[in-house]
Structure 1
């Protein structure tokens, strides 16, 4: 049987189960990479000498030894690196291509993004300080004009002395008024006919509807406005729900389209780790969409923040996934050409990238 490595879903990252495929004669294991030197994983990282590492726990399932390791191993082995696992007595369990495992949030950070430091108490307090309000320091020694309230105007008027009112007698004017009234009566009698005609014209004008002035805008009756109900977006699935869905697809041995659908759903929910593993299970060698998505996770030119939560930029790994569909997919071919043109200096130092970018 072959080695199978699966992530410990009970943790938020950095832990994995290593199913050795058969019983282990010793609990101490050695991890040896096959692609570069130094090749032995030790307590402080990769080293030239052989190191024997003890798992956090080891159990037996159906005659197979299953060891559980934490960030000191998981976060230090990158995805796709060929690893040989050897027991202390020299028994080799074989070589496995290390899968992607979500790094620990506070682990060694091989692939994890750098956490954002929280605000200090000083910074938090500085944001809550309100502008200062001026206060009179010494009210007893302040001038009276500054402490006394202003006098209301009515009160100032009330304090003034009352003026004397002098009534002056005037001569009687009724004879003059009588003569004036008589003259007005005669004038009214003479113009009665004219008044009657004018009154008739006024009444006729009241009965005739008057045209609307051109300056007055016409009244337009408006239909009642109906407010549209606010659109409600479907809630995003949680990280736990997506992990459960991933595990269920693994158990059902689902097809590539099911894993692609899960990967796209996880990307929309900002769960980069689950999305990466789903695209990986869709087999990038046989599926162009899976290879494209995995390449975008590593492409340094991709500014997507979700991709950065699962993998650090790596031009070599991005080129590897793009090259899987070179000359068969135009977008893969163009993306690979652009990546190689943008990393000529790195290609001069890295033989793997130089080989991939070679026409």
Structure 2
């Protein structure tokens, strides 16, 4: 077999593979790679399997004795299933092979009710009352008894002591009547049922909000608008897998989102690698100045001013490069 493939020994966790061929068959210092699925008869592209041929790279070719080696990354490895029948082309070398099973993708990373308050039952009201109390409740006063006969006419000159004695029975009667009225009112008050105690109800406890970084929420990142998805990735950090971040990024780029296109360019741009998607989540693609320029140009067309500044920084290097891809990118994307 002119072309061999194995896991990249420097990245045992997956996502990268090493292609090798005889050095004389691959004399160039850089190479592009295309992948054709013999079963579906489609080529692998950046957005998935497609009918037109697509090339990835260029990748750096390293000499190792009589072998020439290059490393491909998740942009290819994460899309291929084990034992897939493929036709892989590296520059002029083309080989039919079955994808080995040891080259693996990059790993991914109570209704609380209110408390019921029991209220005290009202006390039973006594139906018995004294005769005097009944009289008060019905508005009738007790019978005072037979009327006393009128007093005899006083003598012309009664003594002062006799005048004072004649008023004592009246005062005593009025006092007894007042005491009787007060006693009846007190008895009526005591017979009233007690008011039930007022118990303040406890408010319902607010439910705990769901965790926005739970796995089922992160699984739908690619279905969110890119601005929402990026904010969620920034909040959840390493709990987001590189595959989930790449899916969200691809969905945003397909929708023409300027920020998604700009971030794609930054990931391909070797001089821009400070975004949390790279530093915290760990999403990485093989650096390619021509690919970075392509995405910067698309982001610029979508209205990104930052993409314009990054393209202005990258274009001098593209113009000065000697490879065909860089010069083509400079002619196509570095025009005002």
Q: Same fold (TM over 0.5)?
A: no
**TM-score by structure 1 length?**
0.34
Asked which structure has the greater CA Rg, the reply is 2
**TM-score by structure 2 length?**
0.36
